[in-house]
């Protein structure tokens, strides 16, 4: 294996770049970078600079994904995809998504123009979190041909559609089909912070993702009747916030009582939203996850029924809709075994872990083999400015990545592709 020179220095550079990109935000204070917002252009400029210097050719596809092609030792070779997302949640940390892209950049730099029997395409996905339009994975859906008309018609809080956001960014939605992965794509590998407490509790720097849990996202609207807060007796009220509150407590109780289920009401909006007016409407989000798709779907249906019962008992009406129904995804066993070996070759103890967070790998798994490497999250914190990552763990991830590239470059099984592997 080609030894990685100066892993600590390269890791420091990666962390400095993460912090630099974190400053590109829609907000004066804190990091918020949603689908094709202006700061995304600043990120493209900086990341493209680093990738070009490493010997890659750059394009931006019609879904706003930055894509960098690092040629193989021979032309017409298959390609390996490396990457992650560069959009963020509001008031985000500096590493969710971005770190995976910058580790991929650093791996190209560490190759020092060395060419492998496969090309490498680094992808910085334009949208994974689903913050602006409520539906996630817009960037990676384009690569599997699933950024369809209904998604393009989705509108943000300002009534701007995905299609218009693409045009406003200077891209052409009619070119989206050209973003689809070719049949020459061997696999997708993503480095990502764990965003949870497991690796830290085990004292381990790196983890091998075995599977990503399934995810349901829904919107619920409790509709009651506005009235005067001072003159309306309690028994005559149809209070939308009170109904929503009763349901939210039940959501939490349901998840606490069902092992492996996590349920979150992260957004709540009340109308008219005045101190002295009984709320006419409460609009809520629900994020529901479980490793079992059956349990997740049954839980979602049960909570929707419960919302209807609470609304009826209080003389309110209820509407709800599903924004996302993403099944759990297993990582490719061959790639997971290769990652395990690469972690051992980096003098670390591998640990297999199921991801509670969603990732672009879920989308790409529809078309190609995917696998992920987790880095320890100190304090288990993520989706918050306190999100962090250890310098040594980033250095270890780089060493693991270089071992992985060497292992795959020497693997006839990998180069033959998944179908041939299955029939071998």
**Residues in the site for ligand HGY, rule: CB under 6 A?**
128-129, 136, 357-358
Strand partners, 190: 372
**Whether the Cβ atoms of residue 399 and residue 346 lie closer than 8 Å to each other:** yes
**Whether the Cβ atoms of residue 202 and residue 265 lie closer than 8 Å to each other:** no
- DSSP letter assigned to residue 196: S
Q: State the minimum distance, in angstroms, from the CB of residue 411 to ligand HGY.
A: 30
In terms of CB distance, is 4 or 102 closer to ligand HGY? 102
In terms of CB distance, is 61 or 96 closer to Mn ion? 96
In terms of CB distance, is 100 or 224 closer to Mn ion? 100
In terms of CB distance, is 35 or 334 closer to ligand HGY? 35
Rounded to whole angstroms, the maximal C-alpha distance in the chain is 80
Distance CA 41, CA 87 (A): 11
Q: State the minimum distance, in angstroms, from the CB of residue 125 to ligand HGY.
A: 11
Q: State the minimum distance, in angstroms, from the CB of residue 285 to Mn ion.
A: 15
**Whether the Cβ atoms of residue 141 and residue 179 lie closer than 8 Å to each other:** no
- Which has the closest alpha carbon to 123: 58, 176, 178, 34? 58
In terms of CB distance, is 136 or 401 closer to ligand HGY? 136
In terms of CB distance, is 89 or 400 closer to ligand HGY? 89
Distance CA 339, CA 334 (A): 9
∠286-289-295 over CA atoms, to 5°? Answer: 110
In terms of CB distance, is 96 or 239 closer to Mn ion? 96
190 binds, among ligand HGY, Mn ion, none (CB under 5 to 8 A by kind): none
**Whether the Cβ atoms of residue 362 and residue 354 lie closer than 8 Å to each other:** no
- Binding residues with Mn ion: total (CB under 5 A): 2
Q: Is 83 in the site for Mn ion (CB under 5 A)?
A: no
Q: State the minimum distance, in angstroms, from the CB of residue 383 to ligand HGY.
A: 6
Q: State the minimum distance, in angstroms, from the CB of residue 23 to Mn ion.
A: 18
Binding mask 91-120 for Mn ion (x = CB under 5 A): -----xx-----------------------
Burial group, residue 219, by CB count within 10 angstroms (0-12, 13-18, 19+): middle
Q: State the minimum distance, in angstroms, from the CB of residue 396 to ligand HGY.
A: 23
Helix (H, G, I), strand (E, B) or coil at 239: coil
Distance CA 66, CA 43 (A): 9
Q: State the minimum distance, in angstroms, from the CB of residue 136 to ligand HGY.
A: 6
Please provide residue 382's backbone torsions phi and psi, each rounded to the nearest 5 degrees: -155, 170
Q: State the minimum distance, in angstroms, from the CB of residue 135 to ligand HGY.
A: 12
Q: State the minimum distance, in angstroms, from the CB of residue 139 to ligand HGY.
A: 12
358 binds, among Mn ion, ligand HGY, none (CB under 5 to 8 A by kind): ligand HGY
- SS3 assignment for 22-55: HCCCCCCCCECCCCCCHHHHHHHHHHHHHHHHCC
Contacts (Cβ under 8 Å, ≥6 apart) of 18: 94, 95, 98, 99, 102
In terms of CB distance, is 44 or 85 closer to ligand HGY? 85
Distances (CA, A) of 295 to 254, 303, 304: 12, 12, 14
Q: State the minimum distance, in angstroms, from the CB of residue 254 to ligand HGY.
A: 20
Contacts (Cβ under 8 Å, ≥6 apart) of 389: 15, 95, 99, 193, 375, 376, 377, 378
In terms of CB distance, is 129 or 332 closer to ligand HGY? 129
In terms of CB distance, is 97 or 214 closer to Mn ion? 97
Please provide residue 152's backbone torsions phi and psi, each rounded to the nearest 5 degrees: -65, -25
350 binds, among ligand HGY, Mn ion, none (CB under 5 to 8 A by kind): none
Where does this chain bind Mn ion (CB under 5 A)?
96-97
């Amino acid at each position: 294996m080609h030894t990685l020179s100066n892993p600590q220095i390269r890791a420091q550079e990666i962390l400095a770049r993460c912090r630099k990109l974190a400053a590109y935000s829609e907000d004066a204070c804190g990091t918020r970078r949603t689908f094709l917002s202006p700061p995304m252009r600043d990120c493209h400029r900086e990341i493209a600079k680093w990738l070009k210097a490493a010997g890659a050719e750059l394009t931006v596809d019609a879904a706003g994904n930055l894509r960098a092609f690092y040629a193989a030792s021979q032309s017409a070779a298959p390609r390996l995809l490396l990457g992650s997302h560069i959009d963020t949640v509001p008031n985000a940390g500096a590493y969710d998504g971005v770190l995976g892209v910058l580790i991929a950049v650093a791996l190209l730099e560490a190759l020092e123009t060395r060419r492998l029997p496969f090309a490498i395409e680094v992808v910085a996905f334009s949208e994974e979190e689903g913050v602006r339009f409520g539906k996630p994975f817009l960037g990676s859906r384009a690569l599997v041909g699933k950024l369809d008309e209904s998604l393009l018609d989705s509108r943000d809080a300002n009534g701007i559609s995905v299609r218009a956001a693409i045009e406003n960014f200077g891209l052409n939605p009619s070119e989206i089909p050209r973003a689809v992965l070719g049949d020459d794509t061997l696999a997708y590998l993503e480095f990502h912070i764990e965003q949870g407490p497991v690796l830290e509790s085990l004292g381990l720097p790196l983890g091998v993702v075995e599977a990503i849990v399934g995810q349901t996202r829904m919107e619920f609207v409790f509709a009651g009747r506005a009235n005067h807060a001072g003159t309306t007796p309690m028994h005559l009220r149809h209070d939308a916030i009170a109904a929503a509150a009763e349901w939210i407590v039940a959501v939490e109780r349901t998840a606490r009582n069902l092992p492996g289920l996590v349920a979150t009401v992260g957004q709540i909006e009340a109308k008219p939203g005045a101190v002295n007016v009984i709320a006419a409407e409460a609009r809520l989000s629900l994020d529901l996850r479980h490793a079992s798709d059956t349990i997740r779907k049954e839980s979602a249906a049960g909570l929707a029924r419960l919302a209807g019962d609470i609304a009826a008992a209080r003389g309110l009406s209820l509407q709800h809709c599903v924004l996302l129904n993403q099944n759990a995804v297993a990582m490719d066993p061959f790639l997971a075994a290769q990652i395990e070996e690469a972690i051992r070759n980096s003098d670390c103890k591998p640990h297999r872990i199921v991801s509670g967070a969603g990732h672009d790998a879920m989308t790409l798994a529809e078309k190609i083999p995917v696998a992920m490497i987790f880095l320890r999250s100190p304090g288990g914190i993520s989706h918050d400015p306190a999100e962090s990552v250890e310098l040594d763990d980033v250095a270890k991830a780089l060493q693991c990545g270089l071992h992985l590239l060497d292992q795959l470059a020497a693997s006839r099984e990998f180069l033959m592709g998944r179908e041939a592997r299955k029939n071998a």
